[in-house]
Protein backbone atom coordinates (compact mmCIF):
# COMPACT_ATOMS: atom_id res chain seq x y z
CA UNK A 1 0.00 0.00 0.00
CA UNK A 2 1.35 3.44 -0.94
CA UNK A 3 2.53 5.65 1.89
CA UNK A 4 0.46 8.74 2.60
CA UNK A 5 2.25 12.03 1.91
CA UNK A 6 3.28 13.54 5.25
CA UNK A 7 4.36 17.15 5.77
CA UNK A 8 5.25 19.14 8.87
CA UNK A 9 2.56 21.47 10.16
CA UNK A 10 4.57 24.62 9.33
CA UNK A 11 5.03 23.39 5.75
CA UNK A 12 1.33 22.60 5.41
CA UNK A 13 0.51 26.20 6.36
CA UNK A 14 3.07 27.74 4.02
CA UNK A 15 2.05 25.51 1.11
CA UNK A 16 -1.53 26.68 1.58
CA UNK A 17 -0.28 30.12 0.56
CA UNK A 18 -1.21 32.04 3.71
CA UNK A 19 2.28 32.99 4.81
CA UNK A 20 5.94 32.06 5.03
CA UNK A 21 7.22 29.17 7.12
CA UNK A 22 8.53 31.76 9.59
CA UNK A 23 5.01 33.17 9.85
CA UNK A 24 3.62 29.68 10.30
CA UNK A 25 5.93 28.90 13.21
CA UNK A 26 4.90 32.13 14.93
CA UNK A 27 1.18 31.43 14.43
CA UNK A 28 1.58 27.90 15.77
CA UNK A 29 3.42 29.20 18.85
CA UNK A 30 0.59 31.71 19.40
CA UNK A 31 -1.96 28.89 19.51
CA UNK A 32 -3.78 29.96 16.35
CA UNK A 33 -3.59 26.51 14.74
CA UNK A 34 -5.64 23.44 15.58
CA UNK A 35 -5.12 19.88 14.39
CA UNK A 36 -8.11 17.58 14.72
CA UNK A 37 -9.81 20.04 17.07
CA UNK A 38 -6.86 20.57 19.42
CA UNK A 39 -4.45 23.49 19.58
CA UNK A 40 -0.93 22.37 18.79
CA UNK A 41 2.24 24.37 19.35
CA UNK A 42 4.57 21.95 17.57
CA UNK A 43 5.49 23.28 14.09
CA UNK A 44 7.25 20.00 13.29
CA UNK A 45 4.21 17.81 13.93
CA UNK A 46 3.65 15.45 11.01
CA UNK A 47 0.39 16.01 9.17
CA UNK A 48 -1.44 13.55 6.94
CA UNK A 49 -3.56 15.79 4.73
CA UNK A 50 -5.76 12.85 3.75
CA UNK A 51 -6.84 12.32 7.38
CA UNK A 52 -5.90 15.26 9.61
CA UNK A 53 -8.09 18.36 9.87
CA UNK A 54 -6.12 21.61 10.18
CA UNK A 55 -7.76 24.90 11.16
CA UNK A 56 -6.17 28.36 11.24
CA UNK A 57 -7.92 31.00 13.37
CA UNK A 58 -10.71 28.42 13.68
CA UNK A 59 -11.26 28.35 9.91
CA UNK A 60 -10.60 25.22 7.82
CA UNK A 61 -7.27 25.44 6.04
CA UNK A 62 -7.89 25.68 2.34
CA UNK A 63 -5.35 26.06 -0.41
CA UNK A 64 -5.35 29.55 -1.88
CA UNK A 65 -5.82 30.18 -5.57
CA UNK A 66 -2.53 29.84 -7.43
CA UNK A 67 -0.82 33.18 -8.04
CA UNK A 68 2.11 33.80 -10.39
CA UNK A 69 3.91 37.15 -10.23
CA UNK A 70 6.66 38.69 -12.35
CA UNK A 71 8.56 41.41 -10.47
CA UNK A 72 11.20 43.73 -11.90
CA UNK A 73 13.51 43.67 -8.89
CA UNK A 74 15.69 46.76 -8.41
CA UNK A 75 19.20 46.55 -6.99
CA UNK A 76 19.38 47.11 -3.24
CA UNK A 77 16.46 44.79 -2.43
CA UNK A 78 16.90 41.41 -0.77
CA UNK A 79 15.12 38.34 -2.11
CA UNK A 80 13.92 37.34 1.33
CA UNK A 81 10.86 37.89 3.51
CA UNK A 82 12.50 39.80 6.37
CA UNK A 83 16.00 41.10 7.00
CA UNK A 84 17.39 41.29 10.56
CA UNK A 85 19.36 44.39 9.52
CA UNK A 86 16.24 46.15 8.31
CA UNK A 87 17.30 46.37 4.66
CA UNK A 88 14.52 46.58 2.04
CA UNK A 89 13.13 43.33 0.67
CA UNK A 90 11.15 42.45 -2.45
CA UNK A 91 8.04 41.99 -0.32
CA UNK A 92 7.82 45.76 0.09
CA UNK A 93 7.25 45.96 -3.68
CA UNK A 94 4.41 43.42 -3.87
CA UNK A 95 2.26 44.37 -0.88
CA UNK A 96 -0.80 44.65 -3.15
CA UNK A 97 -0.54 41.11 -4.55
CA UNK A 98 -3.18 40.05 -2.02
CA UNK A 99 -1.74 36.70 -0.95
CA UNK A 100 1.60 35.31 0.17
CA UNK A 101 4.02 34.27 -2.59
CA UNK A 102 7.58 32.98 -2.41
CA UNK A 103 10.51 33.81 -4.70
CA UNK A 104 11.28 31.30 -7.44
CA UNK A 105 15.03 31.23 -6.94
CA UNK A 106 16.91 34.36 -5.95
CA UNK A 107 18.64 37.45 -7.23
CA UNK A 108 21.60 38.95 -5.38
CA UNK A 109 21.31 42.29 -3.61
CA UNK A 110 23.29 43.95 -6.42
CA UNK A 111 21.45 42.16 -9.25
CA UNK A 112 18.26 43.52 -10.78
CA UNK A 113 15.73 42.12 -13.19
CA UNK A 114 13.11 39.45 -13.59
CA UNK A 115 12.08 37.65 -10.40
CA UNK A 116 9.20 35.19 -10.40
CA UNK A 117 7.16 34.71 -7.22
CA UNK A 118 4.36 32.24 -6.59
CA UNK A 119 2.45 30.15 -4.05
CA UNK A 120 2.64 27.13 -6.39
CA UNK A 121 5.51 25.04 -5.02
CA UNK A 122 5.43 22.53 -7.88
CA UNK A 123 5.79 25.35 -10.40
CA UNK A 124 8.71 26.81 -8.43
CA UNK A 125 10.41 23.41 -8.27
CA UNK A 126 10.00 22.94 -12.01
CA UNK A 127 11.62 26.29 -12.79
CA UNK A 128 14.52 26.02 -10.29
CA UNK A 129 15.37 22.31 -10.60
CA UNK A 130 18.73 22.03 -12.42
CA UNK A 131 17.43 18.98 -14.29
CA UNK A 132 14.77 21.15 -15.94
CA UNK A 133 17.46 23.22 -17.71
CA UNK A 134 15.17 26.26 -17.84
CA UNK A 135 17.29 28.95 -19.57
CA UNK A 136 17.89 32.27 -17.81
CA UNK A 137 19.18 35.28 -19.75
CA UNK A 138 21.18 38.18 -18.31
CA UNK A 139 22.57 41.49 -19.52
CA UNK A 140 26.13 41.99 -18.26
CA UNK A 141 28.43 44.99 -18.08
CA UNK A 142 32.01 43.79 -17.58
CA UNK A 143 34.72 45.90 -15.96
CA UNK A 144 37.10 45.49 -18.90
CA UNK A 145 37.02 45.00 -22.64
CA UNK A 146 36.62 41.27 -23.26
CA UNK A 147 38.14 39.61 -26.30
CA UNK A 148 36.32 37.25 -28.63
CA UNK A 149 38.40 34.45 -27.13
CA UNK A 150 37.20 35.32 -23.62
CA UNK A 151 33.56 35.34 -24.70
CA UNK A 152 34.15 31.99 -26.37
CA UNK A 153 35.43 30.65 -23.04
CA UNK A 154 32.06 31.58 -21.52
CA UNK A 155 30.29 29.75 -24.35
CA UNK A 156 32.40 26.63 -23.98
CA UNK A 157 32.26 26.48 -20.17
CA UNK A 158 34.38 27.94 -17.38
CA UNK A 159 36.12 25.89 -14.70
CA UNK A 160 34.80 27.08 -11.32
CA UNK A 161 35.50 25.85 -7.80
CA UNK A 162 32.38 23.65 -7.96
CA UNK A 163 33.15 22.24 -11.40
CA UNK A 164 32.90 23.31 -15.04
CA UNK A 165 29.88 25.29 -16.17
CA UNK A 166 27.56 24.07 -18.88
CA UNK A 167 27.91 25.63 -22.33
CA UNK A 168 26.24 29.05 -22.51
CA UNK A 169 24.85 31.25 -25.26
CA UNK A 170 26.80 34.52 -25.35
CA UNK A 171 26.29 37.56 -27.58
CA UNK A 172 28.42 40.68 -27.58
CA UNK A 173 26.11 43.71 -27.52
CA UNK A 174 28.54 46.62 -27.63
CA UNK A 175 31.90 47.87 -26.43
CA UNK A 176 32.57 51.29 -24.95
CA UNK A 177 36.02 52.73 -24.40
CA UNK A 178 36.56 50.59 -21.29
CA UNK A 179 33.72 48.09 -20.95
CA UNK A 180 32.11 45.18 -22.77
CA UNK A 181 28.34 44.73 -22.62
CA UNK A 182 27.10 41.25 -23.46
CA UNK A 183 24.13 38.92 -23.10
CA UNK A 184 24.49 35.44 -21.61
CA UNK A 185 21.97 32.61 -21.32
CA UNK A 186 22.57 29.84 -18.76
CA UNK A 187 20.75 26.55 -18.22
CA UNK A 188 21.91 26.14 -14.63
CA UNK A 189 21.60 28.31 -11.55
CA UNK A 190 24.61 28.15 -9.29
CA UNK A 191 25.22 30.77 -6.63
CA UNK A 192 26.59 34.00 -8.17
CA UNK A 193 27.33 32.06 -11.33
CA UNK A 194 27.54 34.87 -13.86
CA UNK A 195 29.74 36.95 -11.57
CA UNK A 196 32.05 34.00 -10.90
CA UNK A 197 32.34 33.18 -14.61
CA UNK A 198 33.35 36.75 -15.43
CA UNK A 199 35.79 36.81 -12.50
CA UNK A 200 37.43 33.70 -14.01
CA UNK A 201 38.28 35.93 -16.99
CA UNK A 202 40.10 38.40 -14.66
CA UNK A 203 37.25 40.90 -14.84
CA UNK A 204 34.29 41.77 -12.64
CA UNK A 205 30.61 42.41 -13.25
CA UNK A 206 29.66 46.08 -12.91
CA UNK A 207 26.00 45.59 -13.77
CA UNK A 208 23.83 42.47 -13.97
CA UNK A 209 20.18 42.36 -15.07
CA UNK A 210 18.13 39.20 -15.59
CA UNK A 211 15.83 39.83 -18.55
CA UNK A 212 14.33 36.43 -19.30
CA UNK A 213 13.44 33.07 -17.73
CA UNK A 214 12.54 30.49 -20.34
CA UNK A 215 10.10 32.19 -22.73
CA UNK A 216 9.11 34.86 -20.17
CA UNK A 217 10.70 38.26 -20.82
CA UNK A 218 10.69 41.34 -18.59
CA UNK A 219 9.54 43.40 -21.57
CA UNK A 220 8.44 46.96 -20.84
CA UNK A 221 7.68 46.42 -17.15
CA UNK A 222 9.00 49.33 -15.09
CA UNK A 223 11.65 48.69 -12.46
CA UNK A 224 10.13 48.05 -9.02
CA UNK A 225 6.76 47.06 -10.52
CA UNK A 226 5.07 43.68 -10.87
CA UNK A 227 2.46 42.02 -13.03
CA UNK A 228 0.66 38.68 -13.04
CA UNK A 229 1.84 36.03 -15.47
CA UNK A 230 -0.71 35.14 -18.13
CA UNK A 231 -2.08 31.58 -18.25
CA UNK A 232 -0.12 31.07 -21.46
CA UNK A 233 3.12 32.11 -19.76
CA UNK A 234 2.47 29.81 -16.81
CA UNK A 235 1.73 26.89 -19.14
CA UNK A 236 4.91 27.60 -21.12
CA UNK A 237 7.06 27.29 -17.98
CA UNK A 238 5.24 24.22 -16.73
Q: Tell me: the pLDDT tens digits for 150-194?
A: 999 999 999 999 999 999 999 999 999 999 999 999 998 888 999
Do 91 and 123 fall into the same domain?
yes
* Domain that includes residue 77, residue range: 68-130+216-237
In percent, how much of the chain has pLDDT > 90?
64
Q: Residue 163 and residue 141: Cα distance in Å, rounded?
A: 24
Domains of the chain: total: 3
Q: What is the pLDDT, as a whole number, of residue 1?
A: 38
Q: What is the pLDDT, as a whole number, of residue 5?
A: 66
In percent, how much of the chain has pLDDT > 70?
97
Q: Residue 237 and residue 25: Cα distance in Å, rounded?
A: 31
Q: What is the pLDDT, as a whole number, of residue 4?
A: 57
| Contact between residue 22 and residue 82 where contact means Cβ atoms under 8 Å apart | yes
Residues that are catalytic: 108
- Positions of the chain with pLDDT lower than 70, given as ranges: 1-5, 63
Q: What is the pLDDT, as a whole number, of residue 63?
A: 66
Helix, strand or coil, per DSSP, at residue 100: coil
Asked if residue 19 is part of any domain, the answer here is yes
Asked if residue 76 is part of any domain, the answer here is yes
| Contact between residue 192 and residue 122 where contact means Cβ atoms under 8 Å apart | no
Amino acid sequence: MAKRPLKTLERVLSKAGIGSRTDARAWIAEGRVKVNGRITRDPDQWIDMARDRVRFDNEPLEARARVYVLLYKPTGYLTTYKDPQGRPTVYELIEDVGTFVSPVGRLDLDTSGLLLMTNDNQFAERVTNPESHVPKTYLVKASTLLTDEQLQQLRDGIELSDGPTRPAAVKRLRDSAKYTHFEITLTEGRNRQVRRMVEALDATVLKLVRIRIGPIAIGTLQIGKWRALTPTEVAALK
